Amino acid sequence: MDLYEYQAKELFARHGISVPPGQVAATPQEARSIAAELRAPVVIKAQVKTGGRGKAGGVRLAPGPSAAEDEARRILGMDIKGHTAHTVLVEKATGGFEEYYAAYLVDRADRTLLAMVSSEGGMDIEEVAATKPEALARMPIDAASGLDLETARLLASRAGLPEDVQDAVAATLVRLWEVLVEEDALLVEVNPLACTSDRRVLALDGKITLDANAAFRHDHAAFADGSDDGGLEARARAKHLNYVKLDGQVGVIGNGAGLVMSTLDVVAYAGERFDGVRPANFLDIGGGASAQVMADGLEIILSDPDVRAVLVNVFGGITACDAVANGIVTALEVLGEGARCPIVVRLDGNNAELGREILGDAGHPMVRVVTTMDGAAELVAELAAA
């Protein structure tokens, strides 16, 4: 889960990292009153989970409350690379500072944590890596031993930071490491990490990605936000379904993440021949594929108004296809009139023929049984385009 800047800064503050005083606002009036309370020039920043806000006009200076209100009005609702700014962060403007860069991330290839520190903050770090590699220190950090103050100092020095700020930056680097480990983050990035003329170090921006697998040991639920999918993803989450809304017309249910991803691809290929229909969602119902889970899954998919046909693609392994077929039959009974559009079912694996027989005998008017994945994709695309 990616956090908004203001949420990242909340976590920074909890771990003793300085951030400029400020608050988040959802309306221009709120922005005005926050600016009034701060009694100083403020920065109004669009809260979107993407980069390039500055260039898009999503970050503006405001000398006082009425300017803050005007700027917030301009930014709220703004579209930045497909992300709508629903809130703005109003914070006290920081003057006169050097800009550095600090980040920790998971290095999937080396299966370790990676620290990156640079004296060139405020710009795209990939550009720094390409054009000024000597200004970027990269160091793998052992997950078992962690990052100590000494290593943090070494990082600051290798990144070419001025000597008189290295101690202060190193102390902040250690606190940022605590954020990474104690909050179970997969990414912590501060760009820019500012150092003021009086040698105070503060995080002017923040990007954090939290590990959803670690949710059980944190109180991070408050950070979750509803996305623009008509609430389908939230409803699916409530039923413990692994669902992602996409923009097509063919609903897809399968068991296993890889098989479902593959099904989406095969549907999209078939759709190229049928009006360009595309998959409407990703939904993995896992290995068990019980009647209740199947019914919940179908219910979510069929409540997506864009869906014109559904493909159920199950490989029967431990749960054999006869059990899956019985599950589908029961699920359709549960759905009743809710089964509003054609449902193509492809079963393969253990007892596949028995499973197909069960579906055939049930004779549901909306269900069509196809033996191969490619054939099922072809039929469902045709039905969705009709």
Partner 1 sequence: MAIFLTKDSKVLIQGMTGAEGTRHTARMLAAGTDIVAGVTPGKGGQAVDFAERRVPVFGSVAEAMAETGADVSVVFVPPRFARGAVEEAVDAEIPLCVVITEGVPVHDTLRFWARARATGKTRIIGPNCPGLISPGQSSAGIIPADITSAGRIGLVSKSGTLTYQLMYELRDIGFSTAVGIGGDPVIGTTHIDALQAFQDDPGTDAIVMIGEIGGDAEERAAAYIEQHVTKPVVAYVAGFTAPEGKTMGHAGAIVSGSAGTAQAKKEALEKVGVRVGKTPSETARLMRDTVQTR
Active-site residue set: 101, 189
CB of 209 to partner 1, least distance (A): 10
Binding residues vs partner 1 (CB under 8 A): 106, 108-109, 111-113, 142-144, 181, 184, 186, 211-214, 216-217, 242, 244, 246, 254-262, 264-269, 278-279, 282, 284, 287, 315, 317-318, 348-350, 372-374
336 is in an annotated binding site: no
319 is in an annotated binding site: yes
* Residue 33 near residue 215 (C-beta atoms within 8 A): no
- Tokens read off for 299: 């219910």
328 is in an annotated binding site: no
The closest of 46, 35, 45 to 92, measured between CA atoms, is 35
- Distance (Å, whole) CA 28 – CA 87: 10
Q: Which amino acid is at 202?
A: L
317 is in an annotated binding site: yes
- Tokens read off for 170: 């190193």
Question: Residue 304, by phi and psi: left (phi above 0), alpha (psi -120 to 50) or beta?
Answer: beta
The closest of 15, 2, 52 to 203, measured between CA atoms, is 15
Contacts of 80 (CB under 8 A, 6+ apart): 46, 48, 50, 52, 53, 56, 58
Minimum CB distance to partner 1 smaller for 142 or for 333: 142
Question: What's the farthest any 2 CA atoms get from each other in the chain?
Answer: 80
Minimum CB distance to partner 1 smaller for 119 or for 191: 191
CB of 171 to partner 1, least distance (A): 22
CB of 85 to partner 1, least distance (A): 17
205 is in an annotated binding site: yes
Minimum CB distance to partner 1 smaller for 107 or for 134: 107
Element (H, E) at 273: none
* Residue spans of alpha helices (H) in 303-367: 321-335, 352-362
Minimum CB distance to partner 1 smaller for 274 or for 282: 282
What are the binding residues for Mg(2+)? Answer: 191, 205
What are the binding residues for substrate? Answer: 255, 317-319
